[in-house]
Amino acid sequence: MTYEVSSDAGAPTAADPVEEKVAAAADGDERKTEVDTKVVADVEEKKMPEPPSSDHPSVEKCSSFREESNFLSDLKEAEKKALIELRAKVEEAILEGKLLLAKQEEQKPMEKKEVAEEKGKTDHETREGGEGETAMLDQTKEKKEEVTEREKADPEAQGGGEGEQAKLDRGKEEEEEVKEKECGEGEKAIPRQAKEEEEKEKVDPETREEGEEGEKVKLDQTADVKAEEKAAPLEEKAIATAASEAKNVGDSDKEATLWGVPLLPSKGSERADVILLKFLRARDFKVKDAFEMLRNVLVWRKQFRIDSILDEESLGADFVAACYMDGVDRERHPVCYNMPGVFQNDNLYQETFGSEQGRERFQRWRVQLMEKGIKALDFKPGGVASLLQITDLNNSPGPSKKELRTTMKQVVQLLQDNYPELVARNIFINVPFWYYAFHALISPFLTQRTRSKFVFARPAKVAETLLRYVPAEAVPVRYGGLKRDDDTEFSAEDGGVSEVIVKSNSTETLEIPAPEGGTTIFWDLSVLGWEVSYKEEFVPTDEGSYTIVVRKSKKMAAAELPVRNSFRNSEPGKVVLTIENNSFWKKKALYRYKIKKSC
């Protein structure tokens, strides 16, 4: 490509260096603009080649959602770092026996130890209080000794007052005799003992002081020993209990599994990484939150015996029609169908939601069904690690059913808290207008990630919506697919379904060859939204033979179910299916066929 530069600039002059730089920059901008304009013009002139068309292309495996990759090589650096940190925390918790402990239970050994220490402190304070009382008694005795010494040091005052003292002594003796008579022998010993102690104090005060000090030391030592003996068993008991609990839980931690996958990271299981990534994604790759969620899930499963829930065969005998697993989607996710319309039956509704026991039983059955679906997952990188949920709201109880609404909220919260990232997509079909208001009520209880997986389809768009995610051979006939219960003619090994577009105001013919006579031809056909005319014929290869009308032309209503038919030919020929579209919209037709040799 050639770029032209204007020659009007003339010869260079001795301009200022700054002006030269500005001019050069301006010239560069003009050139860049010119180049960009020409490139855009060239791109607009180019025409993309149209892809080759086929008369009967196979159904496109279209999917508007994609799960994040579980391959380590596809993770971002921050996500890899978070996964490594979570591995380390899980490894440490398993080896320390703390993975299956709830947060409150983990703190119990420390609390027991603190209680023992507080008890020891209390005993020590009590002992110190007793020492204070002993000191007060010693001070009282010392005061008595001081009075006695002053009486000895002043004999003259003592001799001058002998008469009065004698009278006082006699009065005291008389009072003591009266008290001895009234109080009895038990109380007599108290004043006598006191007198004897006073005499001993007068005779040998130094010996008494030494004896009391010795007894005081002995009391202190005895109190210390008792406090230690009292605190030691409590502390030892707390430590022993904590060690026993840690050992019991630790042994089970080392064998801890979730959905059949060992969780010990050091075993190097890729499946364990897939599960840890689910918890990380559910908590926006916050390692601490993801670890707490994992531990809460394990504790919940242990408390409610979830690992043995599949053995409870009679748990959901009444709810079989309300929810069931059937087939897989285009990405091999197991498909779970929810049919709340069955609860229009008043007897079933009251039995299920009329009591607290019935509601708890329904929730436990819903968890059981989730566990059954998980059995079909392999949790391998690039494998199948989640389910597809389809909820048919046709004839479902309205918002006036308070018990149903409350129970469903609890079920949604239960599954969201304990089964992170195990649902790839939630598709709601036959959605009535009132449900949008109901969904607005439960949306605040859901995470943004969960809400982003919801798909809603009105009755007229059910088949179109389901076929985006589920192959036609796996979509039940009542939803516009080709899957029939207990089908004996077609199976998964018979191949996929072909599709053809019928343009507006046009006619399309589908031919099924029958090169040999004595065979039986089977076929399925469905036109999304029908509103077309349809007929079936057998045209022999021999031009001298007559064309056989298998099915007369009929105007197919929008609610028509897919057609299945068969024809046994006696000579070579072909089956011709004719679709006449007289509407202003194009139609999509799905069909498959199979030829069997007649016996």
Give the confidence band of 141 by pLDDT, cuts at 50, 70, 90.
low
Lowest pLDDT segment from 79-93, 202-216, 464-478, 527-541: 202-216
Q: Is residue 400 part of a domain?
A: yes
Q: Is residue 10 part of a domain?
A: no
Query: What is the model's pLDDT at position 100?
Result: 77
Same domain, 289 and 323: no
Tell me which residue range forms the domain holding 84. Answer: 72-100+256-301
Token couple for 266? 């050091």
Q: Is residue 219 part of a domain?
A: no
Domain holding 527: CATH number?
2.60.120.680
Same domain, 446 and 378: yes
Q: What percent of the chain has pLDDT over 90?
A: 45
Give Cα 518 distance to the centre of its chain. Answer: 59
The domain boundary, picked from 301, 335, 365, lies at: 301
Q: Under DSSP, is residue 258 helix (H, G, I), strand (E, B) or coil?
A: strand
Distance CA 468, CA 475 (A): 11
Query: What is the model's pLDDT at position 496?
Result: 81
Give the confidence band of 495 by pLDDT, cuts at 50, 70, 90.
confident
- pLDDT value at 420 more than 90: yes
Q: Is residue 12 part of a domain?
A: no
451 or 419, which is more confident? 419
Same domain, 466 and 432: yes
Same domain, 362 and 385: yes
Lowest pLDDT segment from 79-88, 151-160, 228-237, 433-442: 151-160
* Main-chain dihedrals φ then ψ at residue 239, nearest 5 degrees: -65, -40
- For every residue of 498-527, DSSP letters joined together read EEEEE-TTEEEEEEEEE-SSSEEEEEEEEE
Same domain, 321 and 418: yes
Q: Is residue 460 part of a domain?
A: yes
Highest mean pLDDT among 46-60, 314-328, 523-537: 523-537
Tens-place pLDDT, residues 144-196:
555 455 544 444 444 444 444 544 555 555 555 545 554 454 444 444 554 45
Same domain, 575 and 543: yes
Same domain, 447 and 322: yes
Query: What is the model's pLDDT at position 452?
Result: 85
Give the confidence band of 265 by pLDDT, cuts at 50, 70, 90.
confident
Same domain, 361 and 448: yes
Same domain, 398 and 527: no
Query: What is the model's pLDDT at position 34?
Result: 45
The domain boundary, picked from 470, 503, 529, lies at: 470
Which residue from 375, 395, 372 is spatially nearest to 384, judged by alpha carbons? 375
> Per the structure, how many domains does the chain have?
3
The size of the chain, in residues, is 599
CB 435 within 8 A of CB 340: no
Give the confidence band of 421 by pLDDT, cuts at 50, 70, 90.
very high
Which residue from 322, 315, 367, 364 is spatially nearest to 343, judged by alpha carbons? 322
Q: Is residue 271 part of a domain?
A: yes
Query: What is the model's pLDDT at position 402?
Result: 86
Q: Is residue 50 part of a domain?
A: no
Lowest pLDDT segment from 104-108, 294-298, 386-390, 499-503: 104-108
Same domain, 325 and 375: yes
Same domain, 419 and 375: yes
CA distances in angstroms from 30 to 13, 41, 325, 491, listed in the order given:
21, 17, 65, 67
- pLDDT value at 385 more than 70: yes
Q: What percent of the chain has pLDDT over 70?
A: 63
- Rounded to an integer, the average pLDDT of 345-354 is 90
The domain boundary, picked from 470, 503, 521, lies at: 470
Lowest pLDDT segment from 32-36, 117-121, 165-169, 224-228: 32-36
Domain holding 438: CATH number?
3.40.525.10
Q: Is residue 109 part of a domain?
A: no
Same domain, 370 and 512: no
- pLDDT value at 506 more than 80: yes
Query: What is the model's pLDDT at position 67?
Result: 74
